[in-house]
Structure 1
Amino acid sequence: MQGESLEESYHINLVINILIRYPEIFTVMYNLESSSFNLSYMINKRLTRDKYMELARLLEENLEAYRFFKKKERHPIKLRKKSFSGFTQLEIILPGGSQLNGEIGLITSIMRDNFKGDLISEMRLGDDDLSEEEPVSWDELLELLLNRNPDSHAKKLFAFRDSGKVYVYDK
């Protein structure tokens, strides 16, 4: 994304920071116009319909409780499943208006707890303590980046990680 403006770089930094902060997230798509996020996780097995329905219920209940205690407006999520030979990709769509400060962390914790070793992660040696300690400025950084004016040429950003590198494309 050569020649992007300073304003565009804020949104690029946002998706990069999400992928770096949460190595379990496989891809991020950020729709600047609607402020919605699509987060995908890759599971190293095929997911049964029952397990999928249980996960959808668990995510919805936990996010509803989180929003209740944070006194935030209710924004239902969407969960999609794609199966590949021996793998399942779970896509979670967070609509615009979602409060991402804790929701991404909560969703990732639920995914980690449910799938344990089957959740594909970019975790590397020495990164074990990354998920344990919350950077002091993470909430502030996320809030700052989300509140930026989406006056950019890119309308959707797609980011993924491969071999320790993060790639960002405008769609």
Structure 2
Amino acid sequence: MGVCYKGKNNDVNSSVGLLISILVCYPEVAAINFDPEKQLLRFTFMYSKVLIDNELNDLKARLLSSIEVYNLLEGKDNNVILLNSQICDNLTIIEVQRDVNTLVQEEITLIVELFRQYFNNNLVTEGYDYYIEEEIVAQEEMIGHMLERMKGTSQDKYLFAFREEGKVLVFDK
């Protein structure tokens, strides 16, 4: 998949590329936002049922403890980890917020895998062609490099990316 973004700022191109790569590599992520003021990435997941409060609290506890253990093992700190949710008809929309400056690609994989295991077959995903292992590793490495390039940038574009009918769409405000 090729991408062309006609922006003047190379930081914007990196940010757009990162959002596209995350959506391509992780079909479980329904949408992703970048908030440049707060330096946050917001990952949106959709669950095909309504979650009750204690299920959401259990998910939040698992997510926070998993990230905390990962960071403890890696000897790293994290600044922002928030989990928000809202019910829309028979769907539960869950948003995970992470600060860009302490986030690494392996943690993104951990978050996605936790959602995959917790929600089993009820996580809303758009079908995609399965990649061979080498392609997945290359995509994850690319995400890691782009994430590192975003740290400390002065990018001012609020970006929103989502998947629709097999395409990744990216918008800025």
TM-score range for the pair, normalised by the shorter chain length = 0.7 to 0.9
SS in 1 for 2:41: strand
Correspondence for 1:54: 58
Alignment CA distance shift 1:9-1:24 (3 Å)? same
- The size of the alignment, in residue pairs, is 168
| Candidates 72, 76, 98, aligned match of 1:72 | 76
SS in 1 for 2:170: strand
Alignment CA distance shift 1:61-1:131 (3 Å)? farther
Query: Which structure is higher in helix share?
Result: 2
Percent identity, please. Answer: 26
Correspondence for 2:167: 165
Q: Check whether the contact 1:24–1:123 (CA below 8 A) recurs between aligned residues.
A: no
Shift in Å, 1:133: 6.9
SS in 1 for 2:137: coil
Q: What's the TM-score, normalizing by structure 2?
A: 0.86
In 1, distance between residues paired with 2:111 and 2:90? 23
Alignment CA distance shift 1:9-1:105 (3 Å)? same
Alignment CA distance shift 1:114-1:131 (3 Å)? farther
Shift in Å, 1:17: 0.4
Alignment CA distance shift 1:24-1:69 (3 Å)? same
In 2, distance between residues paired with 1:96 and 1:145? 7
In 1, distance between residues paired with 2:33 and 2:78? 21
Q: 1:16-71: per-residue Cα shift (whole Å, max 9, x none)? A: 00110100001100123433100000000000101000000000000000001111
Is 1:85 the equivalent of 2:97? no
Return the letter of the residue paired with 1:14.
L
What CA RMSD, in Å, does the superposition of the two structures yield over aligned residues? 2.4
Q: Check whether the contact 2:78–2:103 (CA below 8 A) recurs between aligned residues.
A: no
Correspondence for 2:158: 156
In 1, distance between residues paired with 2:82 and 2:168? 25
In 1, distance between residues paired with 2:119 and 2:46? 10
Return the letter of the residue paired with 1:10.
S
Q: How do residues 1-171 of structure 1 correspond to structure 2 at under 5 angstroms?
A: 3-5=6-8, 7=10, 8-124=12-128, 126-127=129-130, 129=131, 134-136=136-138, 138-139=140-141, 141-148=143-150, 150-152=153-155, 154-171=156-173
Q: Any unmatched runs of 5+ in structure 2? A: none
